[in-house]
Structure 1
Amino acid sequence: MSNKKLKNEVVKTHRLNTALQKLSLAEIRLMQLAIIDARETGTGIDTVTPLPIHASRYAEAFGVTRQTAYEVLIEAETSLFKRYFTFLDERDGKPVKSHWVSQAKYLDDEAIIEIMLTPAVVQEITRIDAIEAKTLFTRFALEQVAPMKSVYSVRLYELLNQWRQAKKVSFDLDVFRGQLGVEDTEYKAMSDFKKRVLDLAVKEINEKSDLKVSYEQVKKGVAIAGFKFKVLTKAQPKNAKQEAVRDVNTADIFTVEGLNDKQLGRIVRNPAFMAEYNHLVTPTSPAGQSQQGWEFEMINRLKKDASEFKKRPIREYLEY
């Protein structure tokens, strides 16, 4: 598949999206390309097949010169191999560390870097396609973050995009710093953190992406304990494709009347349903932690009031 045919959509589980990590801007860009290309081409979607990323692919995606792209790939052969992230084990809630790649090789004559994704990364970008998917996921178009010049802007966008539908989210300060990739020794003074990380990121997101965000401090006594964000989606241009207006006479196709629990279970496990309604639960709730919790919550909501599920006819989720 040619690069031009790629959808350039980054898709990963909430767990990977909210992991504690420390990547440079070039490294996070490479991982975004790796996630996109692995899913769209099928190459490198396992832990034994090298995934090639050409310098021209990087240059085109992020609007940099070929020379800059060459330098990024050469540096990434060593730097990306050393990077790791920390996430919580689903079984016991304990922190687990994993590298992003298990192998990296730069092919100088072809200006290509070949990487192998680790099992943890492969799991978090592939299992979301399964009907039996156990986690919810985050997705966004690469074009929304490609123009950003700060790695903190990119990471904040990724984190806030997860809460686009909910329109608000709060972060505890210590975890938030780790999710953004800020070291314990960096920007220790709150004034420095806000000026060089948070305010810079918010400004760039508001100027260059499809989100409009703002925040306020959350205090515990006199100390700042975290931040509460408001997340809004900017209005689409007038020439953007508009969602078809459904005839009021077809309202019955948005009910669950006549469907049994087995059919409702198939509906709520459908990846499309999960993507369109994952904003209704939080990652820390039972519904956001397991397949069983998700099914129980969503089936009950459908039975109680199916009117909140109108993004497409309910029975359409049974068709695939």
Structure 2
Amino acid sequence: MELEKKIVEHNDLIMSSAKMDIVPLKIFELAVAEIDTFNPPKDNTIYLSKKELFKFLDVKDSNKNNRFKQAVTKMQKQAFFEIREEKGKGYVFRNIVPIPYVEWNSYDDKVKIRFDMAIMPYLTELKNNFTQFALTDVQGLKSKHAIIIYKWLNMNYNQFEYYKKSGNRDSNQLYELRNPTIEIDELKWLTDTQNEYVGRFNNFERYVLKNPIKEINENSRFRVSYDKLREGRKIVKLQFHISLKNENVIEEVKSAEKPLTLSEAQASPYSQLLMGALLITFNDMQNEKLMLKLANKVYPRYDAFVKKYSLDALERHLKYIKQHSQNIKDLVVYLDNALTDYQKRLVNDSNRKKNKAGKSPVMKEKLPDWVTDEKTRKNVLTEKGIKKNEEIDELLAKINKDK
């Protein structure tokens, strides 16, 4: 078995609560690395090497077999994943013992491991919403919390890398994936520490955050830091900052533009204009999702419009929208499309005025007097006209004589 293998797991499993300590969790991760997702194992069974298993678990004492036996017994009797999937108006919870069967003997190097059938969809049915990470990174982590946080960080960073290449996310969405935020209660659920480190935040931070982050920085491809976010005096969220160790720091700072906050969106003059035009209400101003959408998608376009035309033109446009709009289902999309249509109309109007101002009046060329008979208004250069016009006859006769 090579330790350079990859572990691939569904994101729902990464977002589950691991009810086990470090040894069962490491055995599970090592076993998952043996699964070929394109060719799932028959009977959900894989084989590990005892030698490599002990190396992965960093077991060095002489009583390796006994320690392994204790770890397997504990894993089968106590360890499970509590998987939470969002369904409809709430969540569906599943408790799954991942490895119910392990077989080994005293004279052979092989360890037979059979996964529970309920866990297999999270390991093999991976068409979307899955995360891949290095087995060697997990090998270097010494605590359960470090593995759980590392997997969660990987999930976010892998999405950042994917969407950065595909171009399907804007700069603010990319920032959120590279600098993901998690509520303290959610992190406690993931690490199964709801009933531990109760009271002061310091102990929780030390054992669930500082020490694990130090392990991740020392043993994985990541360089990670975090900020504590407060509501009043209470710390309610954490924001992690992820970068690669071999990454150019200058490039990293340049690409990680800080996204707008709700208060910044509320303070925008365009928010005041929308309120003045009665397109949003005070309650809408408290809607973080709506206001950030407006600030990220619509307001930059308003900036460009005002620069090209004027603030008065934008204000007239918004008042016009209010007067002629009914049953707006998605305000952001509506305002975006309305501005596009308005700009097209302004361009067309401008082109028409230019064309009108630039054209010289069409002047009909005035024919010489001698060409037209004043009484009949007929062209005297016709055969009939020549016969009737004596002056022209004389002129022609003179011309002929001169020849």
Could you tell me the TM-score, scaled by structure 1's length?
0.63
Q: Partners of 1:23 and 1:110 in 2: how far apart?
A: 28
Of the candidates 31, 38, 62, which is equivalent to residue 35 of structure 2? 38
Is residue 148 from structure 1 mapped to residue 141 from structure 2 by the alignment? Answer: yes
8 A Cα contact 1:84 1:100, kept in partner: yes
2:154 corresponding residue in structure 1: 161
Give the C-alpha shift of residue 174 in structure 1: 1.6
d(CA) in 1 for partners of 2:117 and 2:85?
A: 14
Give the 3-state SS of the residue equivalent to 1:78 in structure 2: helix
Which position in structure 2 is the counterpart of 1:77?
A: 72
Contact persistence 1:77–1:105 (CA under 8 A): no
User: Which has the larger Rg?
Assistant: 2
- Residue 232 of structure 2: aligned partner: 221
Return 5+ residue gaps in structure 2 as ranges.
161-176, 249-403
Q: Distance in 1 between matches of 2:182 and 2:208?
A: 15
Query: Could you tell me which residue of structure 2 aligns to residue 56 of structure 1?
Result: 51
Q: Corresponding residue for 2:260?
A: none
Match of 1:28 in 2: 25
**Matches of 2:145 and 2:187, distance apart in 1:** 11
Distance 1:116 1:8 in 2: 19
Structure showing greater relative contact order (alpha-carbon pairs closer than 8 Å, 6 or more residues apart) = 1
Q: Say which of 9, 12, 15 aligns to 2:9.
A: 12
d(CA) in 2 for partners of 1:41, 1:61: 25
2:75 is paired with a residue whose SS is: helix
C-alpha separation between the residues in 1 aligned to 2:29 and 2:224? 22
What per-residue deviation string (whole Å, max 9, x for no partner) do you get for residues 24-52 of structure 1? Answer: 22111111111111227957x35x34333
Partner Cα separation in structure 2 for residue 124 and residue 199 of structure 1: 30
Q: 1:116 aligns with which of 114, 124, 130?
A: 114
In the TM superposition, what are the counterparts of 1:1-320 in structure 2 within 5 Å? Answer: 3-4=1-2, 7-39=4-36, 45=41, 48-65=43-60, 67=62, 69-82=64-77, 83-89=79-85, 91-92=87-88, 93-128=91-126, 133=127, 135-164=128-157, 165=160, 166-182=177-193, 184-188=194-198, 189-235=200-246
**CA distance in structure 2 between the aligned counterparts of 1:68 and 1:198, rounded to whole angstroms:** 32
Which sits farther off after the overlay, 200-209 or 97-106?
97-106
Distance 1:74 1:38, change over 3 A: same
| Cα distance in structure 1, aligned partners of 2:105 and 2:192 | 29
Q: More helix per residue: 1 or 2?
A: 2
SS in 2 for 1:162: helix
Helix, strand or coil at the partner of 1:152: helix
* Separation in structure 1 between the aligned mates of residue 36 and residue 242 of structure 2, nearest angstrom: 28
Cα distance change on mapping 1:14 and 1:67 into 2, 3 Å? farther
CA drift of 1:124 comes to 0.8
Does structure 1 retain, via aligned residues, the 8 Å contact 2:48–2:112? yes
Deviation of 1:114 after TM superposition, in Å, equals 2.5
Cα distance in 2 between the residues matched to 1:62 and 1:39: 22
Shift in alpha-carbon separation, 1:104–1:230, aligned structure 2, 3 A: same
User: How much is the aligned-residue C-alpha RMSD, in angstroms?
Assistant: 2.6
Preserved CA contact (<8 Å) 2:19 2:81: yes
Percent of residue pairs bearing the same amino acid type: 20
* Contact persistence 1:59–1:66 (CA under 8 A): no
For normalisation by structure 2, the TM-score amounts to: 0.51
